[in-house]
Amino acid sequence: MTDTVHFNLLPCSDSQHKIAVATLDNAPSLNALTANMLTLLTTQLALWQEDDDIICVVLEGAGEKAFCAGGDVKSMHEVMRDNTNDEIRRVCGDFFTIEYRCDYLIHTYCKPIIAWGSGIVMGGGMGLFMGSSHKVVTPNSKLAMPEISIGLYPDVGGTWFLNRLDDGIGLFLGLTGSMLNATDAVDVHLADFMALPEHKASLIEQLQVADWECVDDAYEVVTELLETFAQEAHHESPQPQLLPFYPHIQQACQQDSLLQVVDAIDAIEGESQWLARAKSNLDTGSPISAHICYRQLTACHDLSLADCFRLELTLSVCCCLVGEFQEGVRARLVDKDGSPNWKYKSLAAVEDKLIDEMFTSLWTPESHPLAQLGHY
């Protein structure tokens, strides 16, 4: 069965406590998140949070290829293609509301959540991963926020977590949709630990035999275990791809305008397939998405976590209504012609008025679907 999440409780040696395991299962779509999966996960996480016998949660993806490759954007494309604006706003708004509530719950969870980010971790998968208290990658992990290529923007809390990376790195990752390997992910603080695939079974076994009756800080126990695995995995770290260009990226992203930033990124020199791909993603991505990303990462740094998600709900629905998201998904994932017909042909052509409107809430503070975040 796909389009689901499997939940398991593993007994601990003290016979009282348990380790909870949630497994995302939509393997044919690289565990892409459907509304059903997000509802199941949110409901169960909330129940586990209230259960004093549960020590921590392990969040993983089914299969070997992906933790989670994003949200189920193909289904949203059908909604955007076949419905009126009112229906698009309702259906897509409901999906993003469910997704952001789940992400927020993980960010604010009162127990350790270990996200085992093996394989592909992209888009909506990053929303789950980045909220977790212990973010684990393996040598085959690939992390990215590639929304600029499909006419969206770095959502699922990207306004929060990309703003908390070192100067400029978050902006670069959002504008280019660059894929990071495990080494770069740990070095830029998108991940906490690297482990080997075989360490997962050992981790769970050691969590089960820990003497939780005598533990004051479950977070510390999990951290110590993962630090040990990280030392063992160090020799299998992939070669860094971003780090050789780190100072040039930072300098480029500190320019005074979006156009200057883009020119500076394009001017970075280096014989690197990774860098060439980053530039190509930026140059062929949605100009509207680039403007949204730039404003997110230059004007929204001081927003609370809850306000970031409230802002993103408006932005995401607006991307659906404007048509940019629909066209991007069509070109990249449905028809796969690779040639999206963006609303604007260049960054300079994008009207400030449109971006201002997209950053204007579609709801009053009281009627906002995420009004309760941060208030309970």
- CATH number of the domain within which 177 lies: 3.90.226.10
Q: Is position 364 within any domain?
A: no
Q: Is position 17 within any domain?
A: yes
Please give the backbone phi and psi of residue 34, each rounded to the nearest 5 degrees, phi first: -95, 165
Residue matched to tokens 């320019």 = 255
Q: Quick check: helix, strand or coil at residue 159?
A: helix
Q: Is the pLDDT of residue 352 over 90?
A: yes
Please give the backbone phi and psi of residue 265, each rounded to the nearest 5 degrees, phi first: -65, -45
Looking at the structure of the chain, the number of domains it has is: 1
pLDDT of residue 8: 98
Q: Is position 374 within any domain?
A: no
Q: Is the pLDDT of residue 328 over 80?
A: yes
Region 2-8 average pLDDT: 94
Q: Is position 310 within any domain?
A: yes
What's the token pair of residue 122? 């992209």
Region 267-294 average pLDDT: 96
Q: 92-116: per-residue pLDDT in tens?
A: 999 999 999 999 999 999 999 999 9
Q: Is the pLDDT of residue 290 over 70?
A: yes
Give this prediction's pTM.
Answer: 0.97
Percent of the residues in the chain that have a pLDDT greater than 90, as a whole number: 92
Q: Is position 162 within any domain?
A: yes
Of residues 315 and 76, more confidently modeled: 315
The domain containing residue 241 runs over which residues?
4-358
Q: How far is Cα 101 from Cα 96, in angstroms, rounded to an integer? A: 8
pLDDT of residue 376: 45
Q: What is the 3-state secondary structure (H, E, C) of 272-311?
A: CHHHHHHHHHHHHCCHHHHHHHHHHHHHCCCCCHHHHHHH
Q: Quick check: helix, strand or coil at residue 214?
A: helix
Q: Is position 375 within any domain?
A: no
Name the pLDDT band for 1 (thresholds 50, 70, 90). low
Name the pLDDT band for 213 (thresholds 50, 70, 90). confident
- Could you tell me where the DSSP H helices lie in 51-180? 73-82, 85-107, 124-131, 158-161, 169-176
Q: How far is Cα 50 from Cα 57, in angstroms, rounded to an integer? A: 13
Q: How far is Cα 105 from Cα 309, in angstroms, rounded to an integer? A: 11
Q: Is the pLDDT of residue 318 over 60?
A: yes
pLDDT of residue 24: 98
Region 117-129 average pLDDT: 98
Q: 132-164: per-residue pLDDT in tens?
A: 999 999 999 999 999 999 999 999 999 999 999
Neighbour-count burial of 119, counting CB atoms closer than 10 A to its CB (0-12 exposed, 13-18 middle, 19+ buried): buried
Name the pLDDT band for 174 (thresholds 50, 70, 90). very high
Q: How far is Cα 32 from Cα 287, in angstroms, rounded to an integer? A: 25
The average confidence (pLDDT) of the chain is 95
Q: Is position 369 within any domain?
A: no
Closest CA to 22 of 31, 13, 14, 30: 31
Q: Is position 251 within any domain?
A: yes
Percent helix, percent strand, percent coil in the chain, to nearest 5: 55, 10, 35
pLDDT of residue 216: 87
